[in-house]
Amino acid sequence: MKRNYSSEFVEFQPEDKYAAAQREVKRLKGFYTHLIVYIAVNILIVFINIRDLDPEESYFKLENFFTAFFWGIGIVAHGFSVFLPNWIFGRNWEEKKIKELMEKEKSEKWE
């Protein structure tokens, strides 16, 4: 990646844009794959739990939802990282921090 840090704005070459688009597609594919596996596994767990129920026993017990709940937290976090990348420590934050550190290092060398 060729980046020009001397100017105010970072200019991306066409190769950088293509590579960034490839990374984004890979991230989306990873999330959708994770979501499909989550749904498939949890459907399988539901069928197994229903099959193993005693007569007159209710399916709605806390232990039947642990996997879906905790894995669901992971799915939500994964979704945030894919669809809201600038939410906490996103690319904009990274680039601002890089510029800040480079300016700090530059000013320390001249002192």
- Please give the model's pTM, rounded to 2 decimal places: 0.65
Say if residues 81 and 24 touch (Cβ distance below 8 Å): no
If phi > 0 it is left, if psi is from -120 to 50 it is alpha, else beta; for residue 56 that is: left
Domain ranges of the chain: 23-52+64-109
pLDDT digits (tens, 9 = 90+) for 64-87: 899 999 999 999 999 988 888 766
Identify residue 23 by its one-letter amino acid code. R
Q: Is the confidence at residue 2, as pLDDT, over 50? A: no
Say if residues 62 and 103 touch (Cβ distance below 8 Å): no
